[in-house]
């Protein structure tokens, strides 16, 4: 599948589309920086002031305004995760559908193609691992068919150790990129990096970055039935939204709806969650760390700690002690989300973008909160991004890395300027939420998002990030023995993996 808007079409349509779509996006985004206006008719006698140029990707970055890419075509190969075509939609929409996010993506692409005299296209879209495989094939063949790979993070990170992709932090090869700019996912990129080498980058350019953060969904209508005297938002703001509180509220809301005296799927539950990726989100929310970097940039495994054990005990209690939690079928969260959407549960921890997928026709109102903290001593609410986050890389057979550098930087800046306000301010805060406190809660969620190297590279490290999933699924009550049993093997695998990264860095200079 190949989708391309030609430069001629871009130039013909840009002026009208930019004004319309940009207006739609910024009207819904509130008073964001890119919604600024200029007063062209000052009052009589007023002192003339220099008009401020409207912000664009040039003013946000160091890209020169006279840069001309001479019709260069940047072709993407993408890996799409489940539950919505967010990866494809991040890069491409065929037309301005009127949806505020689609309009922003469409407008961004037209702006970049006209300004830089380039083309954007998608050469292929496949499931998990397909773009990674396509890069291997391309490098082996020595061709230049794919300029940018958009990989599913879990399946893609391992190729960093195979010398198949460039170190994007090499400013001689990628002269226009500055990954410290806030239109990139600065912390996420740093966590993906190893001793100064960045093989992958991401940020607002990826809707799976923006929408993949873990949250707690609350059925507001049911909450008011069970806990009418308690304001859930005040509980969060007072720093009391913890795993123990979630357990308490979940058990207090259980109802044997069919009256058969058996806990089954026909009942109403305080919490619904599968033993799948939400376990990762719960761990991150409790500030569990799989690894840290020492002062020399070495990766140190840190999962074996009292903090981890304390988290797992609370998680196990929530999942198995009492009647409040229904452990849903493992089917990519579909059962859990459909159950919540059908008002069969009070709470559910899952990804932000699931609201768009599953809750469009939900009759009850719902709220969005951070995932619960470990306890009230935790300094802040935290979350992480689902491992389907789209991460971008460049195969080492790409010849015109200067053009790719410019395209990536322009896309990142324009995504932060146009797409993120559309998705974050309108889609998340307004379209898919239904109460006035939603915006504050979403801002709180996004204020602390973290991950770490071992979690991001877990597929190359014996899947150590999945230990909570596997142990909860098997109903293993103690975690310490499982960590101790695997820790030595994890260390050996990590040593081999980073040795390969050192070798790649040496080869690339």
Is 374 part of any domain? Answer: yes
Is 500 part of any domain? Answer: no
Is 30 part of any domain? Answer: no
Q: Which of 228-242, 333-347, 439-453 has the lowest mean pLDDT?
A: 439-453
Token couple for 464:
């150590």
- Whether the pLDDT of residue 8 is over 70: the answer is no
Mean pLDDT of 246-268: 95
Is 137 part of any domain? Answer: yes
Q: Which of 59-68, 277-286, 328-337, 419-428 has the lowest mean pLDDT?
A: 419-428
Assign 3-class secondary structure to 338-369: HHHHCCCEEEEEEECCHHHHHCCCCCCCEEEE
Q: 108 and 147 in one domain?
A: yes
Q: 130 and 230 in one domain?
A: no
- The answer to whether the beta carbons of residues 422 and 101 sit under 8 Å apart is yes
DSSP characters for 74-100? EEEEEE--SSS-HHHHHH--SS--S-H
Distance, in Å, from the CA atom of 8 to the CA atom of 14, rounded to the nearest integer, reads 10
Q: What's residue 41's pLDDT?
A: 33
Mean pLDDT of 323-345: 96
Q: 341 and 327 in one domain?
A: yes
Q: 394 and 473 in one domain?
A: no
Distance, in Å, from the CA atom of 1 to the CA atom of 426, rounded to the nearest integer, reads 30
In the chain, pLDDT over 70 holds for what percent of residues? 89
Closest C-alpha among 371, 384, 367 to residue 216:
371
Q: 400 and 292 in one domain?
A: no
Is 313 part of any domain? Answer: yes
Query: Sign of the CA dihedral 360, 417, 284, 156?
Result: positive
Write out pLDDT tens, residues 17-67: 333 333 333 333 333 333 222 232 333 344 444 455 568 999 999 999 999
Q: How many domains does the chain have?
A: 2
Q: 221 and 350 in one domain?
A: yes
Is 228 part of any domain? Answer: yes
- The answer to whether the beta carbons of residues 126 and 88 sit under 8 Å apart is no
Q: 206 and 319 in one domain?
A: no
Q: 325 and 223 in one domain?
A: yes
CATH of the domain at 243: 3.40.190.10
Domain that holds residue 75: 55-210+387-431
Q: What's residue 91's pLDDT?
A: 97
Q: Which of 410-419, 431-440, 470-479 has the lowest mean pLDDT?
A: 431-440
How far does the chain reach from its first CA to its final CA, in angstroms?
36
Is 7 part of any domain? Answer: no
- The answer to whether the beta carbons of residues 476 and 482 sit under 8 Å apart is yes
Average model confidence (pLDDT) for the chain?
89
Q: 184 and 237 in one domain?
A: no
Q: 253 and 323 in one domain?
A: yes
Q: What's residue 5's pLDDT?
A: 37
Instruction: Grade residue 200 by pLDDT with cuts at 50, 70 and 90.
Output: very high
Is 195 part of any domain? Answer: yes
Q: 337 and 293 in one domain?
A: yes
Q: What's residue 52's pLDDT?
A: 56
Q: 63 and 87 in one domain?
A: yes
- The answer to whether the beta carbons of residues 177 and 203 sit under 8 Å apart is no
Q: What's residue 51's pLDDT?
A: 52
């Amino acid at each position: 599948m190949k989708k391309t808007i030609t430069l001629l079409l871009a130039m013909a349509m840009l002026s009208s589309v930019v004004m319309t779509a940009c207006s739609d996006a910024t009207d819904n985004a509130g008073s964001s920086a890119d919604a600024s206006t200029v007063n062209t008719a000052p009052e009589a006698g007023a002192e003339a002031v220099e008009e401020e140029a409207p912000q664009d990707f040039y003013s946000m970055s160091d890209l020169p305004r006279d840069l001309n890419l001479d019709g260069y075509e940047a072709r993407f190969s993408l890996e799409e995760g489940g539950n919505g075509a967010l990866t494809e939609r991040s890069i491409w929409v065929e037309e301005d559908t009127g949806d505020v996010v689609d309009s922003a993506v469409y407008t961004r692409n037209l702006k970049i193609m006209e300004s830089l005299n380039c083309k954007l296209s998608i050469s292929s879209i496949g499931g998990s691992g397909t773009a990674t495989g396509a890069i291997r094939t391309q490098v082996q063949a020595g061709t230049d068919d794919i300029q940018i790979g958009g990989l599913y993070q879990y399946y893609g990170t391992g190729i960093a150790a195979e010398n198949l992709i460039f170190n994007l932090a090499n400013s001689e090869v990628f002269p226009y990129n500055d990954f410290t700019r806030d239109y990139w996912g600065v912390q996420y990129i740093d966590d993906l990096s190893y001793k100064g080498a960045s093989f992958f980058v991401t940020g607002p350019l990826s809707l799976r970055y923006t929408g993949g953060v873990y949250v707690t969904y609350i059925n507001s209508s049911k909450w008011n039935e069970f806990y009418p005297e308690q304001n859930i938002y005040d509980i969060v703001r007072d720093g009391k939204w913890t795993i123990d509180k979630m357990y308490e509220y979940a058990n207090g809301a259980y109802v044997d709806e069919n009256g058969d005296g058996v806990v089954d799927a026909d009942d109403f539950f305080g919490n619904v969650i599968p033993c799948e990726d939400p376990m990762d989100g719960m761990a991150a929310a409790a500030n569990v760390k799989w690894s840290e970097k020492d002062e020399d940039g070495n990766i140190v495994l840190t999962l074996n700690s009292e903090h981890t054990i304390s988290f797992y005990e609370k998680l196990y209690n929530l999942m198995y002690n009492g009647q409040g939690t229904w452990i849903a079928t493992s089917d990519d969260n579909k059962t859990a989300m459909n159950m919540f959407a059908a008002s069969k549960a009070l709470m559910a921890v899952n990804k932000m973008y699931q609201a768009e997928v599953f809750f469009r026709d939900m009759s009850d109102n719902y709220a969005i909160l951070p995932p619960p903290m470990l306890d009230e001593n935790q300094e802040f609410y935290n979350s992480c991004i689902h491992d389907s986050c789209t991460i971008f890389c460049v195969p080492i057979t790409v010849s015109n890395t200067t053009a790719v550098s410019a395209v990536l930087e322009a896309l990142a800046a324009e995504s932060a300027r146009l797409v993120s306000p559309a998705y974050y301010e309108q889609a998340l805060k307004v379209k898919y939420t239904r109460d006035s406190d939603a915006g504050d809660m979403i801002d709180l969620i996004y204020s602390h998002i973290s991950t770490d190297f071992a979690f991001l590279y877990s597929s190359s490290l014996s899947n150590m990030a999945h230990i909570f999933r596997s142990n909860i699924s098997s109903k293993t009550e103690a975690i310490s023995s499982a960590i101790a049993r695997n820790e030595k093997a994890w260390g050996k695998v990590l040593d081999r993996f980073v040795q390969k990264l050192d070798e790649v860095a040496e080869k690339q200079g």
